[in-house]
């Protein structure tokens, strides 16, 4: 049962990462290679890739959509991989259970919970926040939107900063 959920998450992640850039390139009339380059940069520098997209003259809406779609895809893929590992490893299951039990007694996690992922995404990124949320057993319906909200804030701030630098220089 859970294994099939992992496959669905992985398929959704691949769809977001592979199809969204092509659709955005068609909609905004940009070279497909540029949008895929932006998507690839998102894997490495996360929301910082938005600065590169703006600097290359890409449409801001396309940059925002591409960075956030790839980010969501990475978060979903992280959940899929962690679910698949937990399905096959008793050690992984017990680790996740111990983490959830320890952290449910923490004042910080009981107070803020998944909302802590919003600033967490700005500081730690999706390669840390997604596994942390999974280990803590936080509701996906709350954790994933919180992570994407943090990613969106970082993307918008980066885009505004780069636009501002161009305005000052130009």
Domain count, the chain: 1
Q: Say if CB 89 and CB 64 are below 8 A apart.
A: no
Check pLDDT > 70 for residue 118. Answer: yes
pLDDT range class, residue 169, cuts 50, 70, 90: low
Structure tokens at 50: 């938005």
Check pLDDT > 60 for residue 87. Answer: yes
Q: Is 80 helix (H, G, I), strand (E, B) or coil?
A: helix
Check pLDDT > 90 for residue 1. Answer: no
**Domain residue limits at 112:** 2-169
Residue 86 has a pLDDT of 86
d(CA 32, CA 17): 13
Structure tokens at 90: 């008793």
Q: Is the entire prediction scored with pTM above 0.85?
A: yes
């Amino acid at each position: 049962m859970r294994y099939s959920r992992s496959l669905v998450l992985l398929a959704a992640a691949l769809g977001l990462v592979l199809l969204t850039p092509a659709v955005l390139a068609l909609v905004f009339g940009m070279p497909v290679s540029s949008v895929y380059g932006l998507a690839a940069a998102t894997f490495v520098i996360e929301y910082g890739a938005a600065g590169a997209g703006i600097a290359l003259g890409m449409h801001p809406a396309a940059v925002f959509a591409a960075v956030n779609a790839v980010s969501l895809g990475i978060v979903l893929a992280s959940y899929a991989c962690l679910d698949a590992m937990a399905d096959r490893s008793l050690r992984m299951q017990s680790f996740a259970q111990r983490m959830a039990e320890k952290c449910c007694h923490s004042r910080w996690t009981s107070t803020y919970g998944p909302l802590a992922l919003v600033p967490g995404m700005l500081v730690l990124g999706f390669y840390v926040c997604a596994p942390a949320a999974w280990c803590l057993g936080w509701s996906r319906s709350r954790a994933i939107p919180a992570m994407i909200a943090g990613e969106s804030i970082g993307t918008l701030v980066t885009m505004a900063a780069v636009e501002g630098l161009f305005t000052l220089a130009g």
